[in-house]
Structure 1
């Protein structure tokens, strides 16, 4: 898995590519999240449009990131997950806790509204 992180309008955007499985790459991404939170970033959007596959460890990573932000009074949105990932969210019933947006603009709008 590869990822890119950028801070835009006080929202941490993380863009994933490849397979989301727990490992060294996800550990680096979690450190990125921790660093952002140290600077009081409360909002995060994870772009899954280029993620091909996700396993249980990868789902655990998404839940961990969501938990980190909600514990700080913030929120997380998933952007454009593939059909495969959407089905996994439904099967695992995680669709009840994650908000899904179709693009950056909808994600940013939801996140901004979620903390006010």
Structure 2
């Protein structure tokens, strides 16, 4: 198991959270705690998540992503994923959330028609 490293950088009006390692039931609380602190900060209206170095993510991590998106929307803010690893892409796609938690500037891949 690869430990989870969370780096939080707060700038004027937004926070960037960079994650590296595995997000699972053992590490989801640390992930949630870091995001909760960012959401609760009154000056933060934009939250950027860098998940490009996440080697594994399960439904525990997915639950945290959905919760933080809702919390930021409730306070009038936004969440964007500035990078996603293939593990994150697979989980979001399987859960049908790839359009809701996307990387800005990208588009959703068109499905390949069945032959």
CA contact (8 A) 2:23 2:31 kept: no
Of 90, 107, 111, the residue aligned with 2:93 is 90
Runs in 1 of length 4+ with deviation above 2 angstroms? 25-40
Q: Distance in 2 between matches of 1:58 and 1:49?
A: 14
> What do residues 27-82 of structure 1 show as CA deviations (whole Å, max 9, x unaligned)?
34433433333323121011011110000001111111111101101110112211
Select the structure of larger CA radius of gyration: 2
Task: Let me know the Cα RMSD of the aligned residues.
Answer: 2.1
Higher helix share: 1
Aligned to 1:27: 29
Question: For residue 73 of structure 2, what is the aligned residue in structure 1?
Answer: 70
Give the Cα separation in 2 of the matches to 1:49 and 1:6: 16
Name the CA distance, whole Å, in 1 between partners of 2:18 and 2:97. Answer: 20
The total of aligned residue pairs comes to 102
What is the alpha-carbon distance in structure 2 between the residues aligned to residue 92 and residue 31 of structure 1?
A: 23
Q: Specify every segment of 5 or more residues in structure 2 that has no aligned partner in the other structure, as ranges.
A: 107-115
Q: CA separation of 1:22/1:61 partners in 2, compared to 1, >3 Å: closer, same or farther?
A: farther
Q: TM-score, normalised by structure 2?
A: 0.76
Taking structure 1 as the reference length, the TM-score comes to 0.75
Consecutive unaligned residues in structure 1, runs of 5 or more: 107-116
Q: C-alpha separation between the residues in 2 aligned to 1:27 and 1:84?
A: 19
